[in-house]
Amino acid sequence: MLILGSFPSTASLAAQQYYAHPQNLFWRIVGETIKQPLQEMDYPARIVAVQAAGIAIWDVFASCARAGSLDSAIRDALPNPLAELKESAPALRRICFNGRMAAQRIREIEAMGYEAVVLPSTSPANAGTPYAEKLARWRAALSA
């Protein structure tokens, strides 16, 4: 399984870690889903635990221009080469998009034969979706 975000936040870029913003719910939600205390782990241990659960993390954009961290501010985005997934990750079956911006490439993913699931963003900017709803949808997608 692959989880695709849009592009790392300024906090993530500064830390050189996915989902580094302390208010981003990614590690909490994925940790509850795979029954690992990801929030309490250091970053290298988080990556090992997620990989052991059969999950990879990447972004749909390799680079972009953006003031701040909001997806709505992304401009001049250079896409990551998702077409190379078939060769580089032959066991990959499902791709989950972390939010609607990442899901803009869903047709491309589905055309490649992958099961695609759009999940509510774990970003603090997505405060309108209750935590319980986010957790339930992520749990269903990652557990299936």
Q: Which residue has the tokens 């997806």?
A: 71
Confidence class of residue 67 from pLDDT cuts 50, 70 and 90?
A: confident
- pTM over cut 0.85: yes
Dist. CA 136–CA 109, nearest whole Å: 23
| Residue 17 DSSP code | S
In this structure, whether the domain defined by 2-143 belongs to CATH 3.60.70.12 is answered with no
Q: Is 126 a catalytic residue?
A: no
Of the candidates 24, 80, 98, 126, the residue annotated as catalytic is 24
Least confident of 51-55, 58-62, 140-144: 140-144
> Mean pLDDT, to the nearest integer, of 73-80?
91
